[in-house]
Amino acid sequence: MRCCQPSSTSAQGKTPQLDRTPSNADDSKCQLKWQKEFVSVAQQWLKYAIAKCDTLTMKHKDDHLDQALLYKDDALEVLLHRFDNTGVQSYLHNHKATFLSLCLSGTYTESKWAVCHDLDGSYIEYCRGHDGKLGEPSIQPGGLLLLKSIVFSTGQAKITHHSEIHSIRSTHENTPVTLVIRQKDTAAKTRKTACFMIDNDTTAAYRSEDRPCLESERLSMLLVLEKIARQFQCAEGGIMSDRSPFCNIDHATLVMRTHVISQAALSG
C-alpha cells in the first residue's frame, strides 16, 4: 500500500519553521545565525533594488505576483517578489530548486499539501519543462491532502525545499513583499517539478504565461520598496536599521555574504 507523501517542513503555531529539525543546540544556534544575517543583508538588497529599479528585469508571474531579478550567477539567484492583494490562492506546486525567503512586509498564508495515492478519486498533474512552461495535464489516481496552513509575516525567514507541495494566499490588507535567495542546483534539470490541481477540469486556463511588467507595475513596485525602506530605516534592530553589521558593505561583499548565508542555511 502506498501512503501519503508529506511535505518536509514543520511548523509550530503560526511561525514558519526551518525544514530541518535541529539535532542539537549547536545546530539551533547555526540556524538562528543564518536567519539574523539574512535579515541584515536584506537592507543592502533593498537599497540596491530601489537604486536599480528602472533597469531590473521584472516579470508578472502566475497571475499573482511581480518578480524582480536582483542578481544571479551559477550558484544562486536573488529575487524580490511582490504578491498581489486579490486574496486569490495560487495553484498547488513544488519548485525546481530549494530557496530561502524573508518577508520584508505584509503577510501571506502558506498551505502545505501531500499527494495521497490511497484516496478515492483523482487529481491533475502538470509537469514543468526546463523552459518553465507546463506540459499537457495528466490525470493521476488519488488526491491531495491539506497538511497545515501557516502565516508568514514581516521579519520572518524560512527555507522551502524543492520537493514540498504548497500554495500561497495573500491578503487584501497586507500585500506581502519577500526577498528570495534561490539555489540554482545543477541537479534541478533531472528533478520532476510539477503543478497540481484538485479540480479535474483539464481545460481550465488557470495560469497565464509570464510577461514583462508594465510600467505601472514597475512604478508600484518602486513605491512599495521605498515605503518598506522608510518603515525600517529608523526601527531599532529592524531590517533597515543602520545598526545592521552589513549596512555599508560594497556590492561584491554583499554577494559573497549572500552565498555564505545560502550555504549555511542549506547545509547541515
3-state secondary structure of 231: helix
The pLDDT value recorded for residue 236 is 47
Indicate whether 16 pLDDT > 50: no
DSSP structure string for 110-162: EEEEEEETTSSSEEEEEEB-TTS-B---EEEESEEEEEEEEEEETT-EEEE-T
The pLDDT value recorded for residue 245 is 46
Indicate whether 180 pLDDT > 80: yes
pLDDT tens digits along 185-204: 644 454 566 777 765 554 44
pLDDT tens digits along 190-241: 456 677 776 555 444 455 678 999 999 999 999 999 999 888 765 544 544 4
Q: Which of 59-63, 237-241, 262-266 has the lowest mean pLDDT?
A: 237-241
The pLDDT value recorded for residue 45 is 94
State the pLDDT confidence band at 82, using cuts at 50, 70 and 90: very high
pLDDT tens digits along 38-57: 988 998 999 999 999 999 99
152 half-sphere exposure, CB direction, 13 A CA radius: 29
The residue type of 58 is M
H helix or E strand, kind and range, residue 229 = helix 215-233
